[in-house]
């Protein structure tokens, strides 16, 4: 109940008329000067390798956008003020969306040893629900950050063991498995996906690959939404590119984990 910004106040700050004097416009070079500026930039700063500092600037910009996004999407907090974990978020959304009342498709992207997928197998009790866990099972295909480099989460191809007949796994890069899998799939059931692949590239790939199939009511869980250069940025790019309408269903740990529903 508490901690929800007044929607009217949020709306007023987001008035498009105010955005007319944005810095963005000041830095926009008039069309007629662009070839000259491009040529000048190529001959001067083009000699410098500013990739690393520019990534830093991009990261700062992404944090600004993330901070703005979370302000525009207030999440209801538990009345008792206690911190909740992702298991609590899964359960509360399963209840709110009555996810146990229908045979849904649940796909997880980023399985590792299966911790979150096994939690989902316990929570979703419908006997006809179907689960698919996608992962290389040889770790991250590229560096994510200093502590999780290429190959982090490598389980040497060992697929998690479960006796639950509703669950299967697709081993390999999402980029190699998903399009083929989706092409053969009947998307008539509600699709619930859990994105826990950490990387911008992987998250963006999954969202864009599934974009033609998403329908009203499908649900997306993010495990690291707070990572503004990765899951958040991928979601932001996906929403912009496909003009996706969505509703935020919930979140925990200050937007570390977030859940949205396609409208
Ligand atoms: C943080 S781990 C998943 C953790 C798991 N969901 C849990 O809660 O224990 C991230 C996983 O994403 C997988 N991954 C990332 N990008 C991938 C890609 N493009 N294709 C396949 N797997 C990928 C990695 O192999 C890694 O196992």
193 and 125 share a domain? yes
196 CB less than 6 Å from ligand 1?
Answer: yes
41 and 159 share a domain? no
54 and 184 share a domain? no
Residue 11 resides in a domain: no
The percent of the chain in helix, strand and coil, each rounded to the nearest 5, is 40, 15, 40
- Contact in structure between 218 and 105 (CB atoms under 8 Å): no
* pLDDT number for residue 43: 95
pLDDT tens digits, one per residue of 111-126: 999 999 999 999 999 9
pLDDT tens digits, one per residue of 201-237: 999 999 999 999 999 999 999 999 999 999 999 999 9
Domain range for residue 30? 21-72
Quote the pTM value: 0.88
Q: What is the largest CA-CA distance in the chain?
A: 66
53 and 104 share a domain? no
User: How many domains does one find in the chain?
Assistant: 2
Residue 9 resides in a domain: no
SS3 166: coil
258 and 226 share a domain? yes
pLDDT tens digits, one per residue of 160-175: 999 999 999 999 999 9
Query: What's the CATH number where 217 sits?
Result: 3.40.50.150
* pLDDT number for residue 181: 98
Given ligand 1 and candidates 90, 107, 109, 110, which is best to mutate, with the most ligand atoms within 8 Å of its CB? 110
pLDDT tens digits, one per residue of 70-106: 999 999 888 888 889 999 999 999 999 999 999 999 9
148 C-alpha to ligand 1 centroid (Å):
11
70 C-alpha to ligand 1 centroid (Å):
25
57 and 125 share a domain? no
221 CB less than 6 Å from ligand 1?
Answer: no
């Amino acid at each position: 109940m508490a901690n929800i910004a007044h929607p009217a106040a949020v709306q007023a700050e987001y008035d498009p008329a105010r955005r007319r004097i944005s810095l963005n416009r000041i830095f926009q070079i008039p069309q007629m000067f662009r070839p000259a500026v491009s040529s000048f930039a190529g001959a001067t700063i083009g000699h410098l390798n500013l990739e690393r500092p520019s990534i830093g600037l991009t990261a700062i910009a992404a944090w600004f956008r993330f901070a703005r996004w979370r302000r525009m999407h207030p999440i209801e907090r538990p009345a008792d003020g206690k911190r909740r974990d992702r298991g609590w978020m899964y359960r509360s959304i399963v209840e709110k969306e009555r996810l146990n009342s229908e045979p849904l498709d649940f796909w997880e992207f980023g399985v590792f040893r299966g911790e979150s997928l096994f939690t989902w197998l316990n929570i979703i009790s419908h006997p006809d629900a179907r689960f698919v866990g996608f992962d290389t099972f040889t770790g991250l295909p590229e560096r994510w950050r200093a502590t999780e480099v290429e190959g982090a989460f490598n389980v040497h191809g060992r697929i998690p063991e479960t006796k639950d007949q509703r669950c299967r796994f697709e081993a390999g890069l999402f980029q190699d498995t998903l399009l083929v899998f989706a092409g053969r799939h009947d998307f008539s059931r509600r699709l619930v996906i859990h994105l826990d692949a950490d990387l911008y590239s992987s998250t963006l790939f999954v969202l864009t690959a599934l974009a033609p199939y998403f329908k009203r009511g499908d649900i997306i869980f993010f495990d690291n939404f707070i990572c503004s250069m990765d899951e958040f940025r991928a979601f932001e790019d996906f929403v912009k590119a496909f003009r996706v309408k969505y509703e935020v269903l919930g979140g925990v740990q200050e937007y570390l984990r977030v859940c949205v529903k396609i409208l």
